[in-house]
Amino acid sequence: MGIKNYLVNRIAELGSIHMTLLDPDKVSANEFRELALMVQEYGSDALMVGGSLGISEGQLDEYLSAVKDLLKIPVILFPGSVANLSKYADAVFFLSVLNSADPYFIVGAQIQASVLLVKKFRNLEPISLAYIIVGDGGAVGYVSHARPIPYDRDDIALAYAYAAQLMGFDMIYLEAGSGARESVRPRMVSRIKQLVSKPLIVGGGIKDPERAAELALAGADAVVTGTIIEEKPELIKDIIRAVHEGGSSRRS
């Protein structure tokens, strides 16, 4: 069926889906395996793997090959650089940091990666992603020379998101940055969803089920959490449930 279609179908079925981001740089191979299996059991809909700093292809291969046969949910790479590709994943978010001030992060890394995808990683399904950095921005905002959109400038975020849709991206990601003090605000999500029909993914700084539910209710098609599973793993089950319940209430 393909991973993009799986995500789109799952969103149609549930209203909002949950994706778990695991950063191999922050956990051991054993922890990675345990956390991946735990979120699968709790109903997370996909595993995203990546980070802004410090991941090599060798480490990705080691971590992913160990879980490949154990996971039924798809593994989608979320690369911080062209070195973050692995044949053991199912798909890759082929992302462009739309509000970077440096063309390398908009199209430079992508032309390097496109050659690798053809020559070396033909099994990876590319899903094009407009990556828009908001508020805190975190490490990814710093590393990719982004000019983060202020949390309250829904108008600017909307302009970027609609431009991304017109440019033909498969999906749009509003990112407050991993570990951000504040997540993207629900009002920004609902404003974008009034105009933009492409799947909207929201992540960064989501630390509790309440905020996860608010974002799903506001229209987030996918809610991503990463840091919380390392800091408070006991919350993840409720966060996943909150996203699914928020998505289903929005549709009813």
Binding site for ligand 1GP (CB under 6 A): 21, 175, 178-180, 203-206, 224-228
Q: Which residue, chain included where needed, has tokens 């739309």?
A: 98
Nearest Cα neighbor of 22 from 11, 9, 32 is: 32
Give the phi and the psi of residue 115 in degrees, each rounded to 5.
Answer: -65, -45
Give CA–CA dist 252/249, Å, rounded: 5
Give the phi and the psi of residue 157 in degrees, each rounded to 5.
Answer: -60, -40
Rounded (10°) angle between helices 209-218 and 236-251: 20
Q: Which is nearer to ligand 1GP, 148 or 226 (CB)?
A: 226
Q: Half-sphere exposure of 250 toward its Cβ, with a 13 Å CA cutoff?
A: 24
Give CA–CA dist 240/252, Å, rounded: 19
Closest CB 69 distance from ligand 1GP, rounded Å? 26
Q: Which is nearer to ligand 1GP, 148 or 203 (CB)?
A: 203
Q: Which is nearer to ligand 1GP, 16 or 118 (CB)?
A: 16
Closest CB 66 distance from ligand 1GP, rounded Å? 22
Closest CB 119 distance from ligand 1GP, rounded Å? 27
Closest CB 175 distance from ligand 1GP, rounded Å? 5
Closest CB 207 distance from ligand 1GP, rounded Å? 7
Tell me the residue number closest to ligand 1GP, measured at CB: 203
Closest CB 50 distance from ligand 1GP, rounded Å? 8
Q: Which is nearer to ligand 1GP, 15 or 51 (CB)?
A: 51
CA 112 → CA 52, 124, 145, 183, 233, distances in Å?
17, 15, 18, 31, 36
Q: Which is nearer to ligand 1GP, 119 or 214 (CB)?
A: 214
Closest CB 224 distance from ligand 1GP, rounded Å? 5
Q: Which is nearer to ligand 1GP, 132 or 158 (CB)?
A: 132
Q: Which is nearer to ligand 1GP, 120 or 137 (CB)?
A: 137
Structure tokens, 25: 């740089």
Give the phi and the psi of residue 212 in degrees, each rounded to 5.
Answer: -60, -45
Cross-strand bridge partners of residue 21: 48
